[in-house]
Amino acid sequence: MKTNPFLLTDYYKVGHIFQYPPHTTLVYSNLTPRKSRMPGVDEMVFFGLQYFIKEYLIKYFNENFFEQPKEKVMREYKRRISTSIGDLPDYSHIEKLHDLGYLPVEIKALPEGSLVPMRVPCLTVVNTLPEFYWLTNFLETILSAITWQPCTSATIAFQYKKLLTRYAEETGMPADFIQWQAHDFSFRGMSSFESAVISGMGHLTSFSGTDTVPAIDALEQYYNADAEKELVGGSVAATEHSVMCSGSKDGELETFKRLITEVYPSGIVSIVSDTWDLWRVCTAYLSELKTDVLQRNGKVVIRPDSGDPVKIICGDPEGKTIAEQKGVVELLWDIFGGSITATGYKLLDPHIGAIYGDSINLERADAICKGLKQKGFASQVVFGVGSFTYQYNTRDTFGLAMKATYVEVDGEGRNIFKDPVTDDGTKKSATGLLQVKNINGAYTLFDKVSWKEEKESELQTVYKNGKLTKEYTLAEIRKRLNEALETYENGKLHNATTKVA
């Protein structure tokens, strides 16, 4: 939908210009993750601001406001406001902004891909012209709505990367396998096309495997990636149930054989295998197809798609059949064998593999890797990470909130804050101007600082007066996260504090 961008807000925002104290000239706010609701996760990956700036602060505002006739945008704005909450005392502030021709705000931010501890701001926003003090917090609604999801999905993807890296090192999996081990299956289950794209970009900050095609386009458009020069994202040939059903139940073995010998005689092909009887596929069919599989120049990947993921992959000791008790990976080992890793775990022959992509989350991925390890197998299963991971989140997953901490009224600076007595401390804000320092590899907040100290912060200008002033590439973001991962592997967990200067 395209509309006047000043309608991309909550209704209560439109009247705030009249509510600030008379002669207010400056409002200084910050966006901060206040509280993690993910056990054991105390840092948020900051990602998605550059998309927001390019797509909304520049493109959307220009195309739907500044480049439109003033009479048209004012007529639209007045109509929506007057027919819903009643006329405002004055509309001239919107007219003056249209005359100006750009958004007079400055955004300072930490580098994208940074791990931001709870209660440390990832960005600040301030107006650059005194008459537009009202604009700072007017932008809160759309800024929050667009940025929380890429931050959250990038954080979750990083947690998958940590988890899978740990098991890979323990069980001897090749390092280059990890980037493909979590594959984005979420597109169809996300709340909208845009949520799929921005979440999909977040996934690709830590991994290369994706079925969310437009996320790759978006990274090229908004994060200067180039799929012809670097690996942005990739996938493999794969079947769906309609394909398998069309070959008929009685012809399922022939469908498998045709797929791996005629349609895809080489390369990776993932075949959904539970259309009818997964255990029959993993015993009788694959035994008959063993020579065909081993003669291929590539890998056949077996994809279960229903049941308890842990039991399906690792086996169920209480299963009714031997196949159920063994699980997919052990059954594949029985037929195809493999090798022993440097750390002593079984690794399937490279011509065969498994992927599971139904209702996977971090806990189940951990349980599957742990279950395989306990059975003596390396963590070799690929996970289809879908909307069960990326859609079951909200802005409150990390309590991401934008709050004002400093204003200027009648030429006087005022440190402001909120600290509700009815709250548990989560909503307590910082106070005054803010400075973020990198102390021993950890971002640390200092509040109530001077303007000089504020300018010496790790929060650096990325947008000012309608222009993007600093850009990050996907390669830079991935490098930053990989370096952070190495820090975790060395046992040096990030910690941070909030200090009062």
pLDDT interval class at 425 (50, 70, 90) = confident
Residues 167-220 pLDDT 10s: 999 999 999 999 999 999 999 999 999 999 999 999 999 999 999 999 999 999
Residues 364-412 pLDDT 10s: 999 999 999 999 999 999 999 999 999 999 999 999 999 999 999 999 9
Q: Once rounded to an integer, what is the mean pLDDT over residues 25-33?
A: 98
- Maximal C-alpha separation, the chain: 84
Which of these ranges, 90-104, 338-352, 423-437, 461-475, has the smallest mean pLDDT?
423-437
Whether 443 and 80 have beta carbons less than 8 Å apart is answered as no
Q: What is the Cα–Cα distance from 425 to 446, expressed in whole angstroms?
A: 18
| Cβ count within 10 A of residue 490 | 8
Pick from 113, 160, 179: which is nearest to 385 by CA? 160
pLDDT score, position 420: 83
How high is the mean pLDDT of the chain?
A: 94
Sign of the CA dihedral running 205, 209, 210, 216: positive
Would you say residue 495 has pLDDT above 70?
Answer: no
Task: Report how far apart the first and last C-alpha atoms of the chain are (Å, whole number).
Answer: 45
CA distances from residue 163 to 313, 363, 367, 379, 450 in whole angstroms, order as listed: 18, 10, 11, 11, 41
pLDDT score, position 419: 82
Rg (CA), the chain: 27
Measure the CA angle with vertex 188, ends 309 and 372; round to 5°: 20
CA distances from residue 198 to 26, 153, 213 in whole angstroms, order as listed: 32, 8, 12
Q: Once rounded to an integer, what is the mean pLDDT over residues 36-44?
A: 95
Q: Once rounded to an integer, what is the mean pLDDT over residues 340-346?
A: 97
Would you say residue 499 has pLDDT above 60?
Answer: no
pTM value?
0.95
Whether 324 and 349 have beta carbons less than 8 Å apart is answered as no
pLDDT score, position 489: 64
Q: What is the Cα–Cα distance from 313 to 331, expressed in whole angstroms?
A: 10
Would you say residue 427 has pLDDT above 80?
Answer: no
Percent of the chain beyond pLDDT 70?
Answer: 97
pLDDT score, position 167: 97
Pick from 336, 234, 236: which is nearest to 290 by CA? 336
Whether 437 and 458 have beta carbons less than 8 Å apart is answered as yes
Domains of the chain are: 5-138+402-500 (3.20.140.10), 170-390 (3.20.20.70)
What are the DSSP calls for 155-203, one per residue?
A: HHHHHHHHHHHHHHHHHT--GGGGGGTEEE--GGGSSSHHHHHHHHHHH
Question: Helix, strand or coil for residue 404?
Answer: strand
